[in-house]
Amino acid sequence: MLLTTPDTATIRKDFPILNRVVNGHNLAYLDNAASSQMPQAVIDAYIEYHRGYHANVHRGVHTLSQEATDAYESARDAVMAFVGAACREEIVFTTGTTDAINLVASSWGGSFLKDGDRILVTNMEHHANIVPWFRLADSMAIRLEVIPITDTGEIDMDAYARLLPGAKLVAVNHVSNALGTVNPIAEIVRMAKAAGAATMVDGAQAVPHMAVDVQDLGCDFYAFSTHKMCGPTGFGVLYGRKALLETMPPYRSGGDMILSVSFDRIVYNKVPYLFEAGTPPIAQGIQTAAAIRYLTGIGMDVIAEIERNLLEYATGVLSEIDGLRIIGTAPHKAAVISFVLDGIHPHDVGTILDEDGIAVRTGHHCAEPVMRRFGIPATTRASFAFYNTTGEIDRLAASIRRTIRLLR
């Protein structure tokens, strides 16, 4: 344990929602992989914008518009530093990871892929990193091929090496939302580069939980959502290498992505604005800067350490429960535990845990191919954040035991 680790009780004071009582119990929020909670500083950023300088960005000469533009654009600098991009032009704001991947599929895929090309996706992708590629493949006679995963929930690297020659794109998540597996992205990217394939990394489950440096990873594209990192919904980031972004056509079109418009000719704006048509979610951008300030204030390495301890504790406690099987047992995992109980459906588990004030996710986690791979319809998933406690994990275990007593 790091000596600098702030104690959890202090951290929890920053999150007003953690005081909530749900069904007569203190809330134990263990659904952080779906959406994390917001500290007061991030809530304040929203209120301050709307109370103090709500205005549109990029187009006004008045004071409020300038203040809004400065705050919104400073978020781009904050994100650039947070993920180690080389310059601010590499940070495209989107409405989330899904939107970012759709941008790449539509703009990059639509113009650089051709009939007969092959795209590789892993068997552990979230639907957001499958469906855009499936649709593209369908529309263009492109082949979508699946990189298999092992019984522990890791990418089969030998199979990947065999599938890679000739592939034009590798779409892979950094951390699996359904299994928790942390994938060896730097290695996957190095192999893809050597084979001449581009890389689209879904980082939605990684950025909130570990220090990420996109230049170290070496990928072409990296996407994430801010609502999983103590920030707002409806906002996200596409990192793309500048040289690559500059070769890509616009995505959605309208205001802000142009420099001049006449009925004869349109001059497009430069990246990243080329990909940001229309008024953006301004408050959400400003909140994102606040979320990054908050997370870096604690330190991503400290967060990773706290969550590693929580994962270790939870894995130990849950493994002692008879008939509980953890799905996803890779040695390198984020703080996510997906599990099934013999003879008990996850939806019953979710309902009974909720009655005890414990929020978990049940279902296929928008990763049906993962469920199919393990021959199960659904799992119950507990996913932890740095504000969770071992006490909450004890409550989780007790409630699972109660569920078993009730339903067996």
Partner 1 sequence: MNADRTKQLYQELILDHNRNPRNFKELTPHSHHADGHNPLCGDRLTVYLRVSDAGIIEEVSFLGDGCAISKASASMMTAAVKGKSLAEADTLFTEFHDMSMGRLDPVKDAHHLGKLTVFAGVRDLPARVKCATLSWHTLHAAMRGETVTSTE
Q: Which of 45, 344, 358, 393 binds partner 1 (CB under 8 A)?
A: 344
CB of 389 vs partner 1, minimal distance in Å: 22
End-to-end CA distance of the chain, in Å?
Answer: 39
CB of 357 vs partner 1, minimal distance in Å: 9
Q: Does 238 bind partner 1 (CB under 8 A)?
A: no
Q: Does 228 bind partner 1 (CB under 8 A)?
A: no
| Touching partner 1, residues 288-327 (CB under 8 A) | none
Q: Does 366 bind partner 1 (CB under 8 A)?
A: no
CB of 323 vs partner 1, minimal distance in Å: 15
How far CA 24 is from CA of 88, 276, 347, 351, 357, in Å, comes to 47, 45, 20, 14, 7
How far CA 4 is from CA of 1, 82, 301, 317, in Å, comes to 9, 21, 11, 26
Q: Which of 355, 359, 374, 397 binds partner 1 (CB under 8 A)?
A: 355
CB of 383 vs partner 1, minimal distance in Å: 18
- Per the rule left: phi > 0, alpha: psi between -120 and 50, beta: everything else, 140 is alpha
3-class DSSP assignment, residue 153: coil
- Per the rule left: phi > 0, alpha: psi between -120 and 50, beta: everything else, 181 is beta
Q: Which of 76, 118, 361, 364 binds partner 1 (CB under 8 A)?
A: 364
For partner 1, which is the closer residue by CB, 261 or 407? 407
For partner 1, which is the closer residue by CB, 7 or 322? 322
Binding string, 33-72, against partner 1, x = CB under 8 A?
Answer: ----------------------------------------
Q: Which of 351, 390, 391, 398 binds partner 1 (CB under 8 A)?
A: 351
Which residue, 117, 141, 132, is CA-closest to 198? Answer: 117
For partner 1, which is the closer residue by CB, 94 or 399? 399
Residue 381: strand pairing partners: 338, 361
Helix (H) or strand (E) holding 224: strand 221-225
Q: Which of 80, 352, 393, 404 binds partner 1 (CB under 8 A)?
A: 352
What positions carry a catalytic annotation?
366
Q: Which of 330, 378, 396, 404 binds partner 1 (CB under 8 A)?
A: 378
CB of 340 vs partner 1, minimal distance in Å: 13
Q: Does 406 bind partner 1 (CB under 8 A)?
A: yes
3-class DSSP assignment, residue 200: strand
Cis previous bond, 272, omega within 30: yes
Q: Does 401 bind partner 1 (CB under 8 A)?
A: no
For partner 1, which is the closer residue by CB, 116 or 323? 323
Q: In the 8-state DSSP scheme, what is residue 121?
A: E
Q: Does 395 bind partner 1 (CB under 8 A)?
A: no
Residue 238: strand pairing partners: 92, 223
How far CA 331 is from CA of 27, 138, 152, 180, 229, in Å, comes to 30, 36, 9, 10, 24
For partner 1, which is the closer residue by CB, 178 or 300? 178
CA separation for the pair 331, 281 (Å, rounded): 38
CA separation for the pair 178, 190 (Å, rounded): 25
By CB under 8 A, name the binding residues for partner 1. 23-24, 344-348, 351-352, 355-356, 363-364, 371, 377-378, 406-408
